[in-house]
Amino acid sequence: DAKTTQPPSMDCAEGRAANLPCNHSTISGNEYVYWYRQIHSQGPQYIIHGLKNNETNEMASLIITEDRKSSTLILPHATLRDTAVYYCIVRVVATDSWGKFQFGAGTQVVVTP
Amino acid sequence: ETGVTQTPRHLVMGMTNKKSLKCEQHLGHNAMYWYKQSAKKPLELMFVYNFKEQTENNSVPSRFSPECPNSSHLFLHLHTLQPEDSALYLCASSHVGSSYNEQFFGPGTRLTVL
């Protein structure tokens, strides 16, 4: 699976949009981009995933560049409860196997009042 | 609530004790995972059970022994642990055969080995 690069930390003001970048320049055509987050000492929480189209759900939006070498997770209106480590992961999705998630160091996002 | 529960949430044990961690998933998934997260380190995959068969063991010491009696339950049996085994132990599940196979995590067990 391709490796990802994320900034180690980001600050965001409450109520503002948080834009979290991820670089995955070696991504291959059959690899999806997944985002998880982990609030302190809890289990990681799935946020969103995508292949090449932009995706949106009730938690966030995922913008993937046309060449798929980078992506941005957007939290539209950050709240204090969004303070967490955010992980960007790329992996092959195969319906006949369990598929490995390789967690890196992620981005520590701190939302301030 | 993710549909994955873990007990106990906190555990303190001595190096000579034997204890077990339990994980249960209520999502109808067919694959379950154990991860270890040491302080300020990324999650490390320990074991994978796919359709109740162990398919991955990432060079985990034998003092950690997994058991998967059915597709809903997963145990991690612990014996003669070392202080460096103190960590957050996370269980996850997923559905192999679905389109995206994302993993859902439990809240974790915070283990302290004295």
Residue B77: is its pLDDT beyond 90?
yes
Position A97 scores a pLDDT of 64
For B27-36, the pLDDT digits (tens) are 999 899 999 9
Residue A10: is its pLDDT beyond 80?
yes
CA angle B47, B2, A6 (to 5 degrees): 70
Indicate the residue of A43, A45, A98 with minimum beta-carbon distance to B101. A98
Residue A96: is its pLDDT beyond 70?
no
Q: How confident is the model at residue A94 (pLDDT cuts 50, 70, 90)?
A: low
Tell me what the pLDDT averaged over chain B comes to.
Answer: 90
Test mutation, B100, B104, B110, B112, chain A, max A CBs within 10 A? B100
Query: Does B58 touch chain A if contact means CB atoms closer than 8 Å?
Result: no
Residue entry with tokens 């873990």: B6
Residue A6: is its pLDDT beyond 80?
yes
The full 3-state SS of chain A, as one line of letters, equals CCCCECCCEEEEECCCCEEEEEECCCCCCCEEEEEEEECCCCCCEEEEEECCCCEECCCCEEEECCCCCEEEEEECCCCHHHCEEEEEEEEECCCCCCCCCCCCCCEEEEEEC
Per CB-CB distance under 8 Å, the chain A contacts of B104 are: 46
Of chain A residues 53-92, which have a CB less than 8 A from chain B? none
Q: Which amino acid is at B87?
A: A
For A63-91, the pLDDT digits (tens) are 999 999 999 999 999 999 999 999 999 88
User: A3 or A62: whose pLDDT is higher?
Assistant: A62
Indicate the residue of A43, A44, A93 with minimum beta-carbon distance to B101. A93
Position A111 scores a pLDDT of 97
For A29-74, the pLDDT digits (tens) are 888 999 999 998 889 999 999 999 899 999 999 999 999 999 999 9
Residue B97: is its pLDDT beyond 80?
no
Indicate the residue of A46, A98, A103 with minimum beta-carbon distance to B50. A98
The answer to whether the CB atoms of B105 and A43 lie below 8 A apart is yes
The answer to whether the CB atoms of B48 and A45 lie below 8 A apart is no
Structure tokens belonging to residue B48? 């994978």
